[in-house]
Structure 1
């Protein structure tokens, strides 16, 4: 491995948590944008019969993005924070550790989110009861973005800036 190849690989490793966290954060924003119309009239009244079917399909594909991006961001952050992958100062290591902790924090919301999703996707007598859950989802999603997803992104961004060497 040449020095250039080694530096490229190391730089990609340094960027990986930020790129993955950006994708995760955008997924959360996309979920909010996709569900918000169901929380507003007139779709809140008429969309209840569609929402359980629509969200099931939406969720079935989105879960893969979430299920892959957060653990990969966590794992690559831990690799960066380790003492055996390049020479990073303690501040940069701390930023990667903090980002990893926030990334893992996303999954603390999982049980509550799954309960909301189950009610949202309940296909027995679909109607307003389904669209009412969008308010819960939007509140939970916003709280999750503010408390863990956004801070993870900020930590990774700061870590990349801290790790970068500018000519």
Structure 2
């Protein structure tokens, strides 16, 4: 049984990156689902006055959540690499944890691409097409979700299965 080869308390630390990356992935999916409703053809014209105030609240409340998930994913992965190095190397999962940590932090690499769309949505200047800005944000968010967020989740899943299975 896997628990016999682990020191007490190791399993929660080994599982933490997968749990937090699951939260990141689900949050990204929920963002895409709920914000895309503003641009659904049946409500697009009616949503124009709502996008700016909604997105301001959405962004200010959501940013700390996303950053927390990313910090927990990368931080617990790095803790595993340090504290469980021998186990992970023996099981051949060391680099899966490292990949998951890198992909979690890779979420932040999208900041320069997505920031202009966020700024447009938060500023809500007169004459700006906020539905178009939201469309652009949704495209970048989707790409980020299926590359680094999904990639981190898969890497951590492979790492945990490989580490905990005897």
Same fold (TM over 0.5): yes
Root-mean-square deviation (Å):
2.1
Q: Deviations over 1:67-96 (max 9, x none)?
A: 111022111111112265562235210100
Question: Structure 1: any 5+ residue segments left out of the alignment?
Answer: none
Matched, 1:47 2:51: no
Matched, 1:124 2:113: no
Distance 2:8 2:16 in 1: 12
Question: Structure 2: any 5+ residue segments left out of the alignment?
Answer: none
Q: Deviations over 1:25-73 (max 9, x none)?
A: 1110011011111222232222111100011111111111111110221
Figure out how many residues of one structure are paired with residues of the other and give that number: 162
Taking a change above 3 Å as real, the CA distance of residues 135 and 123 of structure 1, as seen in their structure-2 partners, is closer
Distance 2:13 2:88 in 1: 13
Asked if 1 retains the 8 angstrom alpha-carbon contact of 2:85 and 2:94, the reply is no
Asked if 1 retains the 8 angstrom alpha-carbon contact of 2:93 and 2:163, the reply is yes
The Cα of 1:145 is off from its aligned counterpart by 1.2
Asked if 2 retains the 8 angstrom alpha-carbon contact of 1:44 and 1:132, the reply is no
SS of aligned partner of 1:41: coil
Matched, 1:28 2:7: no
Distance 1:153 1:73 in 2: 9
Q: How does 1:67-146 map onto structure 2 within 5 Å?
A: 67-82=67-82, 87-89=87-89, 91-125=92-126, 129-146=129-146
Distance 1:12 1:126 in 2: 51
